[in-house]
């Protein structure tokens, strides 16, 4: 009000309304506010804004977002509305780029051109800034844009990865490596005699070794002349990929031993290269002797092994030592008629172990699909690793499910990620759908926090229907790996808890990165169970023998180690409802005579070891704490933390909306998953006297409907606990702008139930035991360590002692016993 008793913005004769000039015309486009005295933000599009509020209603210039366009794009994004991602091939750990134009801040990785680092080097150059020229002996002088290898082959007379070896004709007219022929062959070799003799000796040695291996194993020659490992005959019908495929094994043919393997890249169509999670890291020296020593790790030493190599380059060195492509023939995959069936042009199955569909020219059915047989541990329990279907092969993918007798499918990708289609939906959204000659029906769908389970039924003609269970993991983030391994391990154990007679089909988008990581985890856990050891490097090598690019990035390989530790430490802890009574008996002291049974103490010790922050938890926790607590704003938050060593992980902290000048966005709390949703429930400390208002801001802003408070009575003796609930006198509690009133619903010696009204908003939350009870009821399974571990990954101080761990089990047992009593009445 002014001195006239009128609102200033309404009708004072000396003041125009906000957004208008004194003559009551609207402000020009570039000004706003009282008497149009304020200028629009320069980052508003065309510098135009709302004439009253100043908000950039027409949008922002490139590189900025928010109502007033004052916020620059987050790291990793740029451009209009920040909807573009910096190139994966920007140099540096974060792949950062200019938030306006996308120019890479630290330049490009090897093989790519500035400014955006999305364009590969021209065919005749390679390396950093494309400054190096391909060898003149490379065919057409073209080479790999990163490492300079002659990917398309060599000009006549030369061989080798870089076409560095001279090829001579021997007396029989056949080509051989430098130094192996007759001097009268007519080909001049300008080389020192000693070097020629050395090369000849090495070449003869390699040929001799390969010939001996062909006679004595472990490899045999496939029908296309490539080298593959033989299958081990056991009682499991699926140890041999050629069994039960509807096709006989391919006959082998004689071919000359090879002494050189060429690395190939295929330019077969206009589809993009695989970028399933991150760019594929490729070894610049793919012929390192990678299996010359024993690299297995005893499981009891695995935690120390991870800790030892958490800060060095050991995992990277192992990963880079093994070639992505082992050079086996891929003639079928690169054939012109099959090129459009490959989702990515650089991911092609090897001919020797590709999955063959039943071909029928009369029905226009071909035998090609981008999928490979992959051996499990000890060459048994065979998997099929497949790309996610594209539109071209949708019917073929479903046909593969039928022809290969698939009863379980593991899907590790979303249909769309970062605006790109990663997989075509191959199941009906509801009801049934026909794919070629096969009708598929969706029977049930069960959605959990990090995965979905669908039960499908396939019918074809008059044949008996077949049921397929699809396990769809939905928590693998775009362009990255999961923040912690607990969700994937829980998922893997859930898949393995339902064994079937058929092969397990695993796919993501390209069928190599996430797919390879999952299969490797299964194989390593089997190896640990059988031998007490895990050999990560050998596992990676064997996978790439069966399919190129398996485990696509260093991040995936490092994550695999963490997941393997958690998987081993928590193995055998998923219990079905019918076995719960025996499980409780085992934990109470072990079943009589069962020395392998775990007690509460042993299970808790394993859980604690797997939760060790130095080896398992994301380094971002400590990074956030250091970076955040180094500024004045967060120093002010220290007064809001009950204990200095229990701080929220910034990735999971609920951010409050400040609605007053004295409010900020901080509260010591974290969002945790419940059974069906991620970041759905909240864990927080009992309010301090200074944070009671923040507590009720949290309750109202996050629509909390249930508050479970422990140790509330301690308020009587502990002055550090604020009064955040109404007292017994039924008087409302006032805190800031909040008024909380209550009525007692029920009360006994164990707890009091109250109905609260907060500013006419009803109130919702949960606890660890509630998540477990939900899972027990919905999924008919109990998995305490994996649920507790997933929450400890977010809030490490949860359930810190074995006594609290026992208490959690006893609550579950009481609930189970009570339910059983009522169920039997």
What three-state secondary structure class fits 91?
Answer: coil
Residue 227 predicted with pLDDT over 60: no
Whole-number Å distance between alpha carbons of 797 and 649? 12
The mean per-residue pLDDT over the stretch 182-194 comes to 36
Q: Between these two residues, 200 and 768, which has the higher pLDDT value?
A: 768
List Cβ neighbours of 200 (8 Å cut-off, separation of 6 or more): 177, 178, 179, 180
With bands split at pLDDT 50, 70 and 90, how would you rate the model's confidence at 627? very low
With bands split at pLDDT 50, 70 and 90, how would you rate the model's confidence at 358? very high
- Quick one: pLDDT at residue 277? 43
Q: Which of 118-132, 234-248, 390-404, 723-737 has the lowest mean pLDDT?
A: 234-248
In the chain, the largest separation of any two C-alpha atoms, in whole Å, equals 116
Residue 80 predicted with pLDDT over 60: yes
Number of Cβ atoms within 10 Å of the Cβ of 644 = 8
Q: Between these two residues, 633 and 675, which has the higher pLDDT value?
A: 675
Residue 606 predicted with pLDDT over 80: yes
Which residues sit opposite 470 in a β-bridge?
A: 409, 454
- Quick one: pLDDT at residue 202? 40
Residue 144 predicted with pLDDT over 80: yes
Of the candidates 707, 695, 630, 678, the residue with the CA atom closest to the CA atom of residue 794: 678
Of the candidates 492, 499, 537, 502, the residue with the CA atom closest to the CA atom of residue 783: 492
**Percentage of the chain surpassing pLDDT 90?**
35
Of 227-231, 324-328, 629-633, highest mean pLDDT:
324-328
Positive or negative, the Cα torsion across 499, 505, 511, 512? positive
Whole-number Å distance between alpha carbons of 53 and 73? 23
- Quick one: pLDDT at residue 22? 55
Of 118-122, 252-256, 574-578, highest mean pLDDT:
118-122
Q: Residue 97 carries which DSSP code?
A: B
Residue 372 predicted with pLDDT over 80: yes
Q: Between these two residues, 728 and 708, which has the higher pLDDT value?
A: 708
The mean per-residue pLDDT over the stretch 576-580 comes to 76
Whole-number Å distance between alpha carbons of 765 and 9? 44
Work out whether strand 504-507 and strand 408-411 pair parallel, antiparallel, or are unpaired: parallel
Tell me the domains of the chain and their CATH numbers.
1-72 (no CATH), 164-216 (no CATH), 297-571 (3.90.190.10)
With bands split at pLDDT 50, 70 and 90, how would you rate the model's confidence at 742? confident
The mean per-residue pLDDT over the stretch 193-208 comes to 39
Q: Which of 150-164, 379-393, 625-639 has the lowest mean pLDDT?
A: 625-639
The mean per-residue pLDDT over the stretch 666-680 comes to 74
pTM of the model: 0.59
Q: Residue 518 half-sphere exposure, CB side, CA atoms within 13 Å?
A: 33
Q: Can you list the positions of beta strands (E) in 474-542?
A: 504-507, 533-534
Q: In what order do the strands lie in the sheet with 165-169?
A: 158-159, 165-169, 175-177
Q: Residue 720 carries which DSSP code?
A: T
**Percentage of the chain surpassing pLDDT 70?**
71
Q: Is 135 left (phi over 0), alpha (psi -120 to 50) or beta?
A: beta
- Quick one: pLDDT at residue 819? 65
With bands split at pLDDT 50, 70 and 90, how would you rate the model's confidence at 769? low
Whether 111 and 120 have beta carbons less than 8 Å apart is answered as yes
The mean per-residue pLDDT over the stretch 188-213 comes to 38
With bands split at pLDDT 50, 70 and 90, how would you rate the model's confidence at 488? very high
Residue 205 predicted with pLDDT over 70: no
With bands split at pLDDT 50, 70 and 90, how would you rate the model's confidence at 9? very low
Q: Is 270 left (phi over 0), alpha (psi -120 to 50) or beta?
A: alpha
Using alpha carbons, list the distances in angstroms from residue 653 to 66, 76, 631, 680, 695. 21, 21, 18, 12, 13
Residue 505 predicted with pLDDT over 60: yes
Residue 170 predicted with pLDDT over 70: no
Q: Which two tokens stand for residue 250?
A: 């391919």
Of the candidates 508, 480, 273, 519, the residue with the CA atom closest to the CA atom of residue 413: 508
With bands split at pLDDT 50, 70 and 90, how would you rate the model's confidence at 1? very low
Of the candidates 351, 297, 354, 295, the residue with the CA atom closest to the CA atom of residue 321: 295
H/E stretch holding 11: helix 8-11
Q: Which two tokens stand for residue 299?
A: 């499981």
Which residues sit opposite 739 in a β-bridge?
A: 734
Residue 212 predicted with pLDDT over 70: no
Whole-number Å distance between alpha carbons of 686 and 711? 9
Residue 781 predicted with pLDDT over 70: yes
- Quick one: pLDDT at residue 584? 79
Residue 214 predicted with pLDDT over 80: no
Q: Which of 390-399, 416-425, 781-790 has the lowest mean pLDDT?
A: 781-790
Of the candidates 528, 531, 529, the residue with the CA atom closest to the CA atom of residue 561: 528
With bands split at pLDDT 50, 70 and 90, how would you rate the model's confidence at 519? very high
Residue 672 predicted with pLDDT over 50: yes
Mean of the per-residue pLDDT values of the chain? 76
Summarize pLDDT for 13-65 with one digit per residue, the tens.
344 455 556 556 788 888 988 888 889 999 999 999 998 889 999 999 999 99
- Quick one: pLDDT at residue 438? 97
Whether 276 and 555 have beta carbons less than 8 Å apart is answered as no
Q: Which residues of 606-624 are buried (b: 16+ CB within 10 A; e: fewer)?
A: bbbebbeeebbbbeebeeb
Measured in whole angstroms, the distance separating CA 63 from the mean position of its chain's CA atoms is: 28
Q: Is 529 left (phi over 0), alpha (psi -120 to 50) or beta?
A: alpha
Positive or negative, the Cα torsion across 751, 752, 756, 762? positive
Summarize pLDDT for 230-281 with one digit per residue, the tens.
333 333 344 544 344 444 343 333 333 333 333 333 333 334 556 544 445 5
With bands split at pLDDT 50, 70 and 90, how would you rate the model's confidence at 172? very low
Q: Which of 255-259, 496-500, 515-519 has the lowest mean pLDDT?
A: 255-259
With bands split at pLDDT 50, 70 and 90, how would you rate the model's confidence at 282? low
Positive or negative, the Cα torsion across 363, 368, 370, 375? positive
- Quick one: pLDDT at residue 676? 60
The mean per-residue pLDDT over the stretch 145-163 comes to 84
Residue 431 predicted with pLDDT over 90: yes
- Quick one: pLDDT at residue 204? 41
């Amino acid at each position: 009000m002014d001195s006239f008793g009128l609102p200033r913005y309404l009708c004072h004769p000396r003041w125009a309304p906000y957004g208008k000039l004194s003559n009551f015309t609207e402000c020009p486009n570039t000004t706003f506010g009282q008497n149009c005295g304020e200028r629009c933000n320069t980052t508003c599009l065309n510098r135009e804004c709302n004439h009253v509020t100043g908000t950039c209603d027409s949008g922002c210039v490139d590189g900025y977002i928010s109502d007033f366009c004052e916020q620059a794009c987050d790291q990793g994004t740029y451009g209009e509305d920040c909807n573009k991602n910096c190139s994966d091939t920007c140099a540096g750990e974060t792949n950062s780029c200019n938030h306006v134009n996308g120019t890479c801040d630290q330049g490009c990785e090897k093989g790519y051109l500035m400014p955006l680092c999305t364009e590969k080097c021209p065919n005749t150059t390679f390396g950093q800034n494309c400054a190096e020229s391909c060898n003149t002996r490379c065919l057409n002088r073209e080479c790999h844009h990163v490492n300079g290898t002659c990917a398309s082959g060599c000009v006549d007379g030369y061989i080798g990865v870089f076409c560095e070896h001279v090829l001579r004709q021997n007396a029989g007219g056949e080509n051989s490596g430098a130094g192996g022929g007759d001097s009268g062959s007519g080909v001049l070799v300008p080389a020192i005699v000693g070097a020629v003799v050395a090369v000849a000796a090495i070449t003869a040695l390699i040929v001799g070794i390969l010939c001996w291996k062909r006679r004595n194993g472990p490899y045999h020659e496939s029908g296309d002349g490539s080298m593959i490992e033989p299958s081990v005959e056991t009682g499991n019908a699926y140890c041999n990929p050629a069994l039960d495929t509807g096709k006989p094994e391919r006959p082998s043919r004689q071919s000359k031993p090879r002494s050189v393997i060429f690395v190939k890249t295929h330019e077969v169509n206009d589809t993009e290269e695989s970028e399933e999670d991150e760019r594929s890291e490729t070894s610049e020296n793919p012929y390192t002797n990678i299996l010359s020593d024993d690299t297995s790790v005893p499981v009891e030493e695995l935690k120390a092994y991870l800790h030892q190599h958490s800060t060095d380059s050991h995992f990277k060195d192992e990963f880079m030592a093994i070639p992505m492509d082992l050079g086996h023939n891929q003639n079928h995959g690169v054939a012109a008629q099959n090129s459009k069936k490959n989702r990515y042009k650089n991911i092609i199955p090897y001919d020797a172990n590709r999955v063959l569909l039943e071909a029928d020219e009369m029905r226009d059915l071909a035998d090609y699909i981008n999928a490979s047989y992959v051996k499990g541990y000890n060459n048994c329990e065979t998997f099929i690793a497949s790309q996610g279907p594209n539109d071209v092969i949708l019917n073929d993918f479903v046909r593969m499910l039928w022809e290969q007798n698939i009863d379980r499918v593991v899907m590790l990708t979303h249909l769309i990620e970062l605006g790109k289609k990663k997989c075509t939906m191959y199941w009906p959204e509801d009801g049934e759908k026909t794919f070629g000659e096969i009708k598929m029906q969706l029977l049930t769908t069960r959605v959990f926090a990090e995965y979905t389970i669908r039960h499908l039924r396939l019918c074809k003609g008059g044949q008996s229907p077949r049921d397929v269970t699809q396990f769809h993991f939905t928590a693998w983030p775009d362009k990255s790996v999961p923040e912690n391994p607990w969700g994937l391990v829980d998922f893997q154990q859930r898949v393995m808890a339902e064994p079937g007679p058929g092969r397990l089909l695993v796919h993501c988008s390209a069928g190599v990165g996430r797919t390879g990581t999952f299969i490797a985890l299964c194989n390593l856990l089997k190896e640990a169970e059988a031998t007490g050891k895990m050999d990560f490097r050998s596992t990676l090598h064997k996978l790439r023998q069966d399919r190129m690019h398996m485990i696509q990035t260093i991040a995936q390989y490092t994550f695999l180690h963490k997941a393997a530790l958690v998987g081993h430490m928590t193995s055998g802890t998923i219990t079905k409802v019918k076995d719960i009574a025996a499980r409780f008996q085992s934990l109470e002291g072990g079943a009589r005579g069962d020395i392998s049974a775990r007690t509460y103490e042993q299970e808790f010790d394993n859980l604690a070891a797997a939760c060790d922050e130095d080896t398992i938890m994301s380094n971002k926790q400590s990074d956030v704490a250091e970076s955040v607590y180094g500024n004045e704003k967060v120093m002010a938050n220290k007064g809001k933390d009950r204990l200095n060593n229990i701080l929220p992980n910034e990735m999971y902290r609920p951010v409050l909306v400040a609605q007053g000048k004295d409010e900020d966005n901080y509260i010591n709390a974290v969002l945790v998953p419940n059974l069906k949703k991620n970041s759905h429930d909240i864990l927080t400390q009992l309010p301090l006297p200074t944070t009671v208002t923040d507590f009720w801001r949290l309750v109202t802003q996050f629509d909390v409907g249930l508050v479970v408070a422990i140790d509330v009575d301690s308020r009587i003796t502990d002055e550090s606990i604020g009064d955040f609930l109404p007292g017994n006198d039924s008087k409302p509690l006032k805190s800031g702008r909040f008024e909380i009133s209550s009525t007692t619903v029920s009360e006994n010696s164990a707890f009091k139930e109250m109905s609260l009204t907060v500013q006419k908003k009803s109130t919702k939350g949960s606890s660890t035991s509630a998540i477990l009870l939900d899972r027990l009821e919905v999924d008919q399974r109990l998995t305490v360590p994996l649920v507790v571990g997933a929450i400890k990954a977010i809030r490490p101080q949860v359930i810190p002692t074995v006594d609290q761990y026992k208490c959690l089990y006893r609550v579950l047992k009481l609930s189970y016993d009570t339910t059983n009593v009522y169920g039997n009445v």
